[in-house]
Structures are given as C-alpha cells and as structure tokens.
Chain A
Amino acid sequence: MSSLKQLQQKSARKKQVYKPILDNPYTDEAHNWPYVEDQPLVAELVRSHVTEVLRHAPESLDARFGFNAVVKYLEQPSFETVAADEPSRVFLFVCNRDSVPSVLLAQIPVLARVSRRDVVLIPLPRGFVSHFDKCCPAGQYHDGLLLVVQNTDFDLQFASQLTRRVGHVTPKPWLKFNESRIGVVASEVSLNARSAKPTK
C-alpha cells in the first residue's frame, strides 16, 4: 500500500532544479540607472517642456533621436575637438521601462559615465514611449532614446528642476569592488532515469 506522498511523487514526471549563474556586476539596474524622485512630475515636465515643444516646433531645441545619433554625439572624442563655446551638459531621456530591447540599452549607462560630456541620464516611466512616437521626425526611429543639449534655447529652470530630482548613481562603479551577484535560474530535469541518460 502506497502513501499519498509516494503517489504524488509517482505522478511527477519532472523535478525543478536551480542552476547557479553569475550576473554582470555593472548591469545591476538598481545601481546603474539613477533613481528619479517624483516620477510623475518629472514625466509631466518632460512632456510639456520637451516632447510637446519638439512636436510643434522641431527646430526650437537641439535634440537627437535614435541610437546612432545619441551614441555618436556622446562619443565625440575629446574636449579639443569640441568647440570651447559648445555646451557640454546634455539630457538623455531613456524609455527603459518600455519595450525597448534591453541589448540596446545595456551600454547606455556606461557610455553616459565614460563620455566627456556632462550627461544627465533620466529614465522615464512605463508608457512614455508613445510621446516619443509623436514628436519623432518621420522616417526616423527613436529606439526609446532622446538627447537634448542644454543650450541658450533650453529652459534653465526646467534643467535645474530635472537635475535636482534625478538621483546620482555611483559615478565610476569600476573603481569600487562589487560583490559577486550570484543568482539561481529555475530549470527542470526528468525524473525518469532512462530518459535523462543520453542514448548512444
């Protein structure tokens, strides 16, 4: 006579197992992307001062859409090649909560740190990508990235409000040793010994 436990074990065909895996110490989302205080207010400010402005008057702001344009601007080699009067502070708005491929955004926080420009990285809330769709020029893909240069046309009060509300992350994480981020991934193995063995 078999017990209930034995019956249950008989009915199980697979068993859940956990496999250890090492994660990248520099792609920890909590430490990579800055924390934004008062997220709805920041989103509303960005909508009214950036996306709506670009929608109605695209020439009014020095803005760049899309991965290639943003990366090219941030990678501009050095101070020598950049003109002295050219503004160095830029605001990089990223829709990292929307369905933007993670592989595209993986290097963006690192690039913001190693860039010679003063980059203010602003992650936007879920659903904000629809505002980007409205203000992006036709024939261009924004890839969830919008870079706005702080020049004379840019509202200084808005800029100071943004910088005040965006929390600062570790400026150079590679100078500080991070503990290993070991996780486990759930997987399944067959309980049947014959099927688990590879057939010759």
Chain B
Amino acid sequence: MARKAHKDEGKLAQKWGKGPQINENGVLLVQPPKSVPNKDHMQRLNYLFQASTYHTIVDQDDKSHALSRMYMRNLDLIQKKTKSALTPGMKRQICKRCHRVLVPMRTLEQSVVNESKNNVRQSQVLVLTCKCGSKKRFPYGQDTKYKTHVERDNLIFLQR
C-alpha cells in the first residue's frame, strides 16, 4: 500500500516536474489542491440539501413543504454569506421563488414545449414548473451538445 502511494507520488512529480510549468497560452499551471478551505460550509450546505430533499419526498401529506423550504432557504442564505459555489446541476433543482426542491411527482411538472410554427427541433424548450407556479426554461434545442462549465472542465473531486 505504502509502495503504491510512493509510486503515485513519483508519477505526479514526473508529470508536474520540479520547475513551474507554463502552457502555450501563458498560463502558469498549478497542481490541484488536496483540500479546500472552509470545507465545513460545504458540508453544512450538503446536509441542508439532503434534509430538504428527504422531507420533500417523505412528507407527502405536507402540501406547503414548510420544513423543506426552510432548510432550503437556510442553504441559500448560507451559500450567499459564505460565497460558496454550487454546481449548475444542484442549482437547477432549487426553485428560486419558493425555495422548494424540485422533485418529480412531488413538487415538479416537466415537459418539452415547442412553440414554433413548423415544430422545428431548434425550438424545443424543457420547461420545469414548480408547485408555486414559477418556471425554469432550458432551450436545449438550440445546442443539444451544450455542457455546463463543470461538465466541460471535468470537475476534480477531492478525496474524502
């Protein structure tokens, strides 16, 4: 095990070298960090998101989703206060107006709408409608190969 770890370190050192590396665009390349600052904020946000999702799915009788929305509002405030970043995939699951988690068959209605006369593929829009009435529109027909910056840049996950 120790030998393997040593080997991996050796490979990394070989890859990154000893001196500074500058690519063709004049960018000084830096090795990815092994830890992030203020990790506890992220963990708190993650806990709040999961608690909110749990209450949305499990408490089917609660039509107002009061507890779930309170957790999500806390998440939103903490995220803004601590300037923590969330991936687009996570933000797309949160209603900006009522702070509900968007879960199909509970709080979300989703459909593909095409409002063009000729029903062309470029005009296809995914509409996510929250229970409160607010809508999120994703015109995916314009660019079906579109990827968010996180999907494009290959998110590097830190070891747990």
Q: Are B27 and A22 in contact (CB under 8 A)?
A: no
**Interface range, A side:** 35 or more
Q: Are A111 and B104 in contact (CB under 8 A)?
A: yes
SS of A interface (majority): mixed
**Beta-carbon contacts under 8 Å, A1-31 to B:** 4-5, 8-9, 11-27
Q: A182-B157, A185-B155 are in contact. Are A18 and B33 (CB under 8 A)?
A: yes
Number of A-B contacts (CB under 8 A): 171
Q: A22-B45, A184-B155 are in contact. Are A75 and B26 (CB under 8 A)?
A: no
B63 at the A interface (CB under 8 A): no
CB distance from A56 to the nearest CB of B (A): 26
Q: Are B32 and A18 in contact (CB under 8 A)?
A: yes
B134 at the A interface (CB under 8 A): no
Chain A 23-46, CB-CB to B under 8 Å as 1, else 0, gives 111110000000000000000000
A167 at the B interface (CB under 8 A): no
Q: A5-B19, A9-B20 are in contact. Are A177 and B36 (CB under 8 A)?
A: no
**Beta-carbon contacts under 8 Å, A109-129 to B:** 110-111, 114-115
Contact of A22 among B22, B87, B106, B111 (CB under 8 A): B87
16 interchain pairs (CB within 8 A)?
A: A4-B19, A9-B28, A14-B25, A14-B26, A21-B155, A22-B84, A23-B87, A24-B90, A67-B111, A99-B145, A102-B89, A110-B103, A141-B112, A183-B87, A183-B157, A185-B156
